[in-house]
């Protein structure tokens, strides 16, 4: 009887576990840890959405198995969102599917379209399921740079020339977790042209569609590129837009072949989300959207407080234009120790938890991800503690006014 399960052997130990263990131990010892290591929204969802959930739970007919691909009203609400927000028309019957959070959709679509040994192109660093969804499905992953620029495009060209077998799919995620990079439509045009030329599927993860900080430049959808639907699907999520992470509600939209593949595999695996969650999600998507601008303003305030505080501490961090994270190069004085040891040191000495960049892939080493997941008061407290930590280690070099430059 084997205990060496093939798929499990392909999953490396969880890098974050070491820092999480140290965090739990510090808390158990009574330390006040400011946890900026997670990507878990800390706000309540919109009140009218919660009310709709409660109301629907009261309906005795809402407790049976639901529809795996999502109730029709939910798929229609998602299509309306794409029309309103991106000017992209979708057929709710063939081009939209609801998923149990976008993570589940990404994992199951990876399984649906992969043959063992396929080559898949995945940015590094990236959110772990981008890579591991395909690895679990038996693919080999070729890393590409995570920057939405010429570097990535050149790496894609090299990848199709030198990978055997030729790559079958590419994942992108902008605004990105963990790097906070944001792509523009011109970049997506290049990607779509590449994918159409080389017959490669694109999976775009747009989980942070609504968490952006320049009001004049909301992140675009790759599907807004003419012809994108021939090669691309896009994943969105209720988790960050409406702070509904625990509800597990996401979507895939776009290429009908890919949507059909995901629909088919899911029809074998699940019965859809709990109906009241789907009904309340319809209320979120179709109802007033003030909440979304409020949450965006809240994250922007937090970003500004965090970045100013880090600047004062002498830690140079690029100003994120979107997502819930700052992607921070380890200060030079600590660079040698690597992201896991640095995260543990910061936890021990400053009481601040961050996510080590190595957890997002080999090329995440040298960075830590700092989440905007605590209120501004706690963020000020965190940056004051970081400042003392930096001073104690003689690590706080002077910095330029990056934030002033970014907001002007």
Ligand X SMILES: Cc1ncc(COP(=O)(O)O)c(C=O)c1O
One symbol per residue from 120 to 139: x for binding ligand X (CB under 6 A), - otherwise; what is it? -------x------------
Pick out residues in 219-238 that bind ligand X (CB under 6 A).
237
In angstroms, give the least distance from the CB of 248 to ligand X: 7
Task: Tell me: does residue 359 bind ligand X (CB under 6 A).
Answer: no
Task: Tell me: does residue 68 bind ligand X (CB under 6 A).
Answer: no
The nearer residue to ligand X, 239 or 255, going by C-beta atoms, is 239
In angstroms, give the least distance from the CB of 59 to ligand X: 26
Tokens of residue 269, six digits: 């695996």
* Residue whose token pair is 């019957």: 93
In angstroms, give the least distance from the CB of 41 to ligand X: 9
Cα of 76 vs its chain's centroid, Å: 24
Task: Tell me: does residue 353 bind ligand X (CB under 6 A).
Answer: no
In angstroms, give the least distance from the CB of 156 to ligand X: 20
Strands (E), 41-118: 96-99
Task: Tell me: does residue 250 bind ligand X (CB under 6 A).
Answer: yes
Helices (H), 209-335: 238-241, 256-269, 275-286, 290-313
Among candidate residues 40, 23, 19, 43, the one with its CA nearest the CA of residue 32: 23
Pick out residues in 28-67 that bind ligand X (CB under 6 A).
39
Task: Tell me: does residue 343 bind ligand X (CB under 6 A).
Answer: no
The nearer residue to ligand X, 127 or 132, going by C-beta atoms, is 127
- CB-based burial of residue 199 (10 Å sphere; 0-12 exposed, 13-18 middle, 19+ buried)? exposed
DSSP string for 294-310 = HHHHHHHHHHHHHHHHH
The nearer residue to ligand X, 331 or 357, going by C-beta atoms, is 357
Pick out residues in 88-117 that bind ligand X (CB under 6 A).
101-103
The nearer residue to ligand X, 368 or 385, going by C-beta atoms, is 368
Among candidate residues 243, 333, 242, the one with its CA nearest the CA of residue 289: 242
The nearer residue to ligand X, 143 or 163, going by C-beta atoms, is 143
Pick out residues in 186-215 that bind ligand X (CB under 6 A).
205, 207
Residues with Cβ within 8 Å of 177's Cβ and at least 6 positions away in sequence, in order, are 39, 126, 127, 207, 208, 323, 324, 325, 360, 369
Pick out residues in 147-176 that bind ligand X (CB under 6 A).
173
In angstroms, give the least distance from the CB of 129 to ligand X: 7
Task: Tell me: does residue 278 bind ligand X (CB under 6 A).
Answer: no
* Residue whose token pair is 């700092």: 370
In angstroms, give the least distance from the CB of 391 to ligand X: 33
In angstroms, give the least distance from the CB of 78 to ligand X: 13
Residue in the shown chain whose Cβ atom is closest to ligand X: 101
Four-residue CA torsion sign, 378, 379, 384, 385: positive
Task: Tell me: does residue 266 bind ligand X (CB under 6 A).
Answer: no
Tokens of residue 299, six digits: 């994250």
Report yes or no: 271 and 257 within 8 Å, Cβ to Cβ: no
Task: Tell me: does residue 309 bind ligand X (CB under 6 A).
Answer: no
Residues with Cβ within 8 Å of 288's Cβ and at least 6 positions away in sequence, in order, are 46, 48
Tokens of residue 224, six digits: 């807004």
- Segment holding 203, helix H or strand E: strand 201-205
The nearer residue to ligand X, 14 or 227, going by C-beta atoms, is 14
In angstroms, give the least distance from the CB of 4 to ligand X: 30
The nearer residue to ligand X, 114 or 239, going by C-beta atoms, is 239
Residues that bind ligand X (CB under 6 A): 39, 101-103, 127, 173, 177, 205, 207, 237, 239, 245, 250
């Amino acid at each position: 009887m084997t205990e060496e399960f093939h798929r499990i052997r392909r999953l490396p130990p969880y890098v974050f576990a070491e820092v999480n263990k140290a965090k739990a131990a510090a808390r158990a010892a009574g330390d006040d840890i400011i946890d900026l290591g997670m990507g878990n929204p800390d706000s309540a969802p919109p009140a009218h959405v919660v009310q709709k959930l409660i109301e629907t739970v009261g309906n005795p007919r809402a407790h049976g198995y639901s529809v795996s691909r999502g109730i029709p009203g939910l798929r229609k609400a998602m299509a309306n969102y794409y029309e309103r927000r991106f000017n992209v028309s979708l057929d709710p019957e063939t081009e939209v599917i609801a998923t149990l959070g976008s993570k589940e959709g990404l994992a199951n679509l990876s399984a649906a379209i992969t043959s063992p040994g396929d080559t898949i192109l995945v940015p590094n660093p990236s959110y772990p399921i981008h890579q591991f969804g395909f690895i679990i499905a038996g693919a080999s992953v070729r890393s590409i740079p995570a920057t939405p620029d010429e570097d990535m495009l050149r790496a894609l060209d090299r990848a199709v020339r030198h990978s055997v077998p030729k790559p079958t799919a590419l994942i992108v995620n902008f605004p990105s977790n963990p790097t906070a990079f944001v792509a523009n439509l011109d970049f997506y045009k290049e990607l779509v042209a590449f994918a159409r030329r080389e017959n490669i599927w694109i999976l775009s993860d747009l989980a942070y569609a609504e968490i952006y900080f320049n009001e004049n430049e909301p992140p675009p959808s790759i599907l807004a590129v003419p012809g994108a639907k021939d090669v691309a699907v896009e994943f969105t999520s209720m988790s960050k837009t409406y702070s509904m992470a625990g509800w597990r509600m996401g979507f895939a939209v776009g290429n009908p072949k890919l949507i059909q593949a995901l629909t088919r595999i899911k029809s074998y695996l699940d019965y859809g989300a709990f109906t009241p969650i789907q009904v309340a999600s319809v209320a979120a998507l179709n109802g007033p959207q003030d909440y979304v601008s409020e949450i965006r303003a809240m994250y922007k305030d937090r970003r500004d407080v965090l970045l100013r505080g880090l600047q004062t501490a002498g830690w140079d961090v690029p100003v994120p234009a979107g997502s819930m994270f700052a992607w921070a190069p380890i200060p030079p004085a600590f660079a040698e120790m690597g992201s896991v040891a640095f995260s543990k040191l910061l936890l021990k000495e400053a009481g601040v938890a961050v996510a080590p960049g190595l957890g997002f892939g080999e090329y995440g080493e040298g960075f830590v991800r700092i989440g905007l997941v605590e209120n501004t008061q706690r963020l000020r407290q965190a940056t004051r503690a970081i400042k003392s930590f930096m001073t104690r280690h003689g690590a706080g070099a002077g910095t330029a006014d990056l934030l002033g430059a970014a907001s002007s």
